[in-house]
Structure 1
Amino acid sequence: MAQSGFRRWIVVITAVSAAIMELIDTSIVNVGLTDIAGNLGATIEDVSWVVTSYGIANVIVIPMTSFLQGYFGRKNYYIGSIILFTLASYGCGVAPDLWTLVAFRFLQGVGGGALLSTSQGIMFDAFPPQQRALASALFGLGIVLGPTFGPTLGGYIIDNYHWSWMFYINIPVGILAVFLSLNFIEKKEDEYDIDRSKINIDWTGILLLTVGVGSLQYVLERGEADDWFEDNIILYLTVAAAIAIPFFIWYELRGTKTPVLNLRVLKNRNLALGAFLVFVVGYGLFTSVLLYPLFVQRVIGYTATKTGQLLIPGGAIAAVCFPLVGRLLAKGVSPRYIVMAGYVLFAVFCFMMSGYNAETTDGYFTEALLIRGVGLAFLNVPLINSSVSTLKPFELPTGIAFTNMTRQLGGAFGVAITNTYIAQRSAYHRVDLVSNINPDNPLATERINSIAQGLIAKGINSLDAISGAYRNLELAVQKQTLLLAYLDTFRLAGVFFIVSFPLLFLLQNKKMDAATAKAAAEAAH
């Protein structure tokens, strides 16, 4: 039921805040892993589980959201998820050891997946049909701002406070969201008399989905760090995913009449194409969030705080563009054309970043990040709307949940391929650079002698000066190797967008009819 005036905007603030809170937590800890490892006495390899466990929980829960809302009722499920997320955040902050922290991060991901998947449906209900494009735009703003400002907020906390405050800041937001949800979010009509005894739970489907998607997410996130198939766990989970996912698909299509995820909706061409394109957008979003901080911190030497500050203008222009996109959609502008513009802008961002170097100034990074912000604003909401625009109303909850899952998997794929590609390109460029450092290369000899003379001038003996010159040259090689690898990886991300661009022409241009728009309001995001 549509709200009006003050109540409507309270619902908007509640839903968007909950979604941003969940998405911030996908990236906020990335800049604090070193501090967490040092404080808890863990290795960097082990502490990466803090990120992995959250992502696995997210990607398992998201596709089950439609079923869980139907079983518990949307409002109950939403409030329960906020409470779980908030309590788990407190548990993360007080965790005495790494594995307790990992366990609470998993619970936080379970609650967070529900927040992301339910908030937009709640927002849609607060707006009349003719204003729901604006509701989509406002919610899409949260989808982009969360991962974008996560590193900003995390960097500020790490530079000024204890890492546990990355989790404690969720507590007041969560308490406020529970209070507002109890008082301002209304139940749907079918939530008042749910007869759970008549709901058949697809336990087999849930188990297969958990094993298949959870294993795949683990392999994507941990593969590079654990040397892929040289690690037995990666090998076993790859086999588990290869068995569980096809069996899940067969079982949901043929083995049960009450599937936890109705895969038949993928017969719809728009949804199948849209899901793949959303996968590419997820890849681009999460890859850029990972690559940009690595680039500016490890190559140029920015602090975590400054790294985050440069993201603010891009986030601000996205905030301006999202309502504009909503108005364009409301006026009947084809989502496909808006998405095409977003694809082009994001590819431009990637190729701009692939041309920068260690001498690049703040202004150039700001310019590229502004283009990224506009591109993401043009991509998210129109692409999801276009993906589900040809579905029947009863298919929308599954269709939208599926696009959410593919965005998360795209992000996991992006992180995996980025880490692997950086490692491969670093090795390639190192061999190329080191091959030029030999006694037969006069430029290399001149550089070493110049560094050594500078060290001798500072009072260091000649033997130690030569050793120091080689060490300095090694550091320069490492820095240049990383720079070239990052540039290659930005270029690869741009290629993904160019290669998938022609698929946009295959999307049907169809505006949602009234029945579909109404059903979208009731969908679980």
Structure 2
Amino acid sequence: METENLVEYGYRRVIITITAILCALLEIVDTTIVNVALNDMRGSLGATLTDVAWVITAYAIANVIIIPMTSWLSQQFGRRNYFAVSIVIFTVASFLCGNASNIWELVIFRFIQGMGGGALLVTAQTIITESYPAEKRGMAQAIYGMGVIVGPTLGPPLGGYLVDNFSWPYIFYINIPIGIIATLLTLTYVRSPKYGEKLKANQVDWWGILFLTAFIGSLQFVLEHGQQDDWFENSTIVVLSIVSFLGLILFIWRELVYKFPIVNLRVLNDSNLKIGVILCFILGFGLYGSTFVIPIYTQAILGWTATDAGLLLIPSSIMTGIMMPIIGKLIQKGIPQTYMVAIGFAIFFGFTFWMYSIMTPDTGSEHMFNPLLLRGIGLGLLFVPITTLSLSSLKGREIGDGAAFTGMMRQLGGSFGIAIITTYIARWSQNHRVDLISNLNGSSLTVQQRIEQLKLGFMSKGYPANEALEKAYKILELSVTKQATVLSYMDVFMFLGILFLACIPIVLFVKTGKGKVDLSNVH
């Protein structure tokens, strides 16, 4: 079936667009909504911090395993059926997560939820792209992008509100009515392209699935648990790193030699997709990395509540949402995406440099408002142009394969970003602490005066002199540790900024023919 037959008009297109965005939002909000509920889960399920981290890890692993397979699974079962079943799996698993009676039940149900959720992202993107005529595809990506960029930011404030006012199972129950509506709308309105012959069970690329699972699953575990398990000092991390590396090599070999591969690697011969995949990885790194660091900084250093920390990111998301249709229009007018991406990277560097310069142990929300708006503008200029550039020279069925690669690399970029950032914060905090302490000279008049001041303060509250002195030293040590942590957060922002700045030359390698992107043969 030619894709033009899948283009929708009028109210049908509006309903299909809303359904697809709802599903993409469901998936992405659920990636971050649990972050603020982990403490309550620990308490009510009697779990350790390491155990509860698996609630995030299991979802992420399932997500990243299923994303590369979505194009193939759509072809096997028909896009509409596959999309509807994915929503049902996600919704049922959400109900089971809310009813879990112990931590490992919750982890298993989160894994199943991730299997359903991973499919929603890429399939939603392909459905939206197909529903719009070629000249409006930039706008279609902009509409989809609003869901993808706003989603990670909506999670923490929504999760904070539900946990503070109800209880943690409600962060899962909230998916159920939306899932039911989305399933009914999908079955009624979404149509599937005809893909030709389906594979028989003995033609399915089972080895490909096994190698992909070994590669991605092990890699995701290493990234999520590396820092807390001290990286390569830990035998599990070493073994899984080897499994991941071998899984990657065997997976690439299998997909290139097998007649019916589960992931079409040959699509990566397209030079625009190659560069787009790298840029998607870096976009994920910056998007999820900054979404991770800012709430931690505001809660751990500034002492904010989870809800306040989550709300801080909302203006940035609204700004991105405002930018999306504007960018879609600019693409339709034929302005080269390479320019937009280069400007987006430069603006994101401006945001990180601004954050670097205002961070202190008592920065106020008013100081962060403008830099975060700048972040929103930068992400808006990056998401749609990178996505449309990546898929710009693909045709037919390859579009679905390309969308799966960009989706996977964005998620992996986020995982790498968070793993590297947590490691750097831990290591750099130690280094800064050592430096700060070496500069604290006990014979310095300023230091002596500060200790004496603190000591007198404690004595005025009724503490004996020796105890007051001990407390004064403790306060000094705490402020040194706090200052060291703030310095490490500043380093993280500078690191992110330099990474984005270094990407500008990569963008210049992208081949662009005419300014408008032709996505007219999507399947």
- Normalising by structure 2, we get a TM-score of 0.95
* TM-superposed deviation, 1:500: 1.9
Name which of 418, 425, 428 aligns with 1:425.
Answer: 428
Equivalent residue, structure 2, for 1:269: 271
Give yes or no for contact 2:126–2:403 (8 Å, CA) kept in 1: no
**1:460-479 matched pairs, under 5 angstroms:** 460-479=463-482
Equivalent residue, structure 2, for 1:120: 125
Equivalent residue, structure 1, for 2:150: 145
Name which of 315, 322, 326 aligns with 2:317.
Answer: 315
Deviations 1:117-139 (A, max 9, x none): 10012112322222222111000
Equivalent residue, structure 2, for 1:280: 282
Deviations 1:157-213 (A, max 9, x none): 2222211111111111101111111222223344xx864439831111111011011
| Structure 1 residues 189 and 266: CA distance shift in structure 2, 3 A | closer
Instruction: Check if 1:494 corresponds to 2:479.
Output: no
Q: Take 1:331 and 1:462, find their aligned partners in 2: how far apart are those partners?
A: 75
Equivalent residue, structure 2, for 1:358: 361
* TM-superposed deviation, 1:513: 8.0
Q: Take 1:224 and 1:505, find their aligned partners in 2: how far apart are those partners?
A: 35
The AA in structure 1 aligned to 2:136 is: Q
Give yes or no for contact 1:50–1:105 (8 Å, CA) kept in 2: yes
Instruction: Check if 1:160 corresponds to 2:162.
Output: no
Name which of 5, 8, 11 aligns with 1:6.
Answer: 11
Q: Take 1:219 and 1:364, find their aligned partners in 2: how far apart are those partners?
A: 36
Instruction: Check if 1:34 corresponds to 2:39.
Output: yes
Instruction: Check if 1:82 corresponds to 2:121.
Output: no
Deviations 1:326-367 (A, max 9, x none): 111111111111111211111111111111223322222111
Give yes or no for contact 2:335–2:516 (8 Å, CA) kept in 1: no
Identity %, equivalent residues: 44
Give yes or no for contact 1:438–1:445 (8 Å, CA) kept in 2: no
Which segment drifts farther, 345-354 or 420-429? 345-354
Q: Take 1:517 and 1:300, find their aligned partners in 2: how far apart are those partners?
A: 47
Q: How many residues align?
A: 517
Which segment drifts farther, 145-154 or 79-88? 145-154
- Normalising by structure 1, we get a TM-score of 0.95
* TM-superposed deviation, 1:519: 3.0
**1:150-229 matched pairs, under 5 angstroms:** 150-190=155-195, 195-197=198-200, 200-229=203-232
Equivalent residue, structure 1, for 2:138: 133
Give yes or no for contact 2:331–2:516 (8 Å, CA) kept in 1: no
Deviations 1:51-89 (A, max 9, x none): 111111111000011110011110000000000000111
Deviations 1:414-452 (A, max 9, x none): 011001000110100111122234532332222111101
Name which of 486, 507, 511 aligns with 1:504.
Answer: 507
Instruction: Check if 1:374 corresponds to 2:377.
Output: yes
- Structure 1 unaligned blocks of 5 or more: none
The AA in structure 2 aligned to 1:188 is: P
| Structure 1 residues 323 and 251: CA distance shift in structure 2, 3 A | same
Equivalent residue, structure 2, for 1:450: 453
The AA in structure 1 aligned to 2:287 is: L
Instruction: Check if 1:304 corresponds to 2:306.
Output: yes
| Structure 1 residues 114 and 296: CA distance shift in structure 2, 3 A | same
Equivalent residue, structure 2, for 1:327: 329
Give yes or no for contact 2:64–2:118 (8 Å, CA) kept in 1: yes
* TM-superposed deviation, 1:93: 0.8
| Structure 1 residues 435 and 158: CA distance shift in structure 2, 3 A | farther
Give yes or no for contact 1:389–1:512 (8 Å, CA) kept in 2: no
Give yes or no for contact 1:279–1:406 (8 Å, CA) kept in 2: yes
Give secondary structure in 2 for the equivalent of 1:156: helix
Name which of 374, 392, 404 aligns with 1:401.
Answer: 404
Give yes or no for contact 1:28–1:166 (8 Å, CA) kept in 2: yes
| Structure 1 residues 262 and 196: CA distance shift in structure 2, 3 A | closer
Which segment drifts farther, 69-78 or 33-42? 33-42
The AA in structure 2 aligned to 1:484 is: L
* TM-superposed deviation, 1:285: 0.5
* TM-superposed deviation, 1:90: 0.9
The AA in structure 2 aligned to 1:51 is: I
Instruction: Check if 1:257 corresponds to 2:259.
Output: yes
Give secondary structure in 2 for the equivalent of 1:382: helix
Q: Take 1:507 and 1:4, find their aligned partners in 2: how far apart are those partners?
A: 33
Give yes or no for contact 1:389–1:511 (8 Å, CA) kept in 2: no
Equivalent residue, structure 1, for 2:3: none
| Structure 1 residues 93 and 14: CA distance shift in structure 2, 3 A | same
**Cα RMSD over matched residues?**
1.7
Instruction: Check if 1:413 corresponds to 2:416.
Output: yes
- Structure 2 unaligned blocks of 5 or more: 1-5
Instruction: Check if 1:69 corresponds to 2:78.
Output: no
Equivalent residue, structure 1, for 2:114: 109
Q: Take 1:114 and 1:317, find their aligned partners in 2: how far apart are those partners?
A: 27
Instruction: Check if 1:21 corresponds to 2:26.
Output: yes
* TM-superposed deviation, 1:4: 2.3
Deviations 1:244-289 (A, max 9, x none): 1012112212x31211112122222221111111111110001001
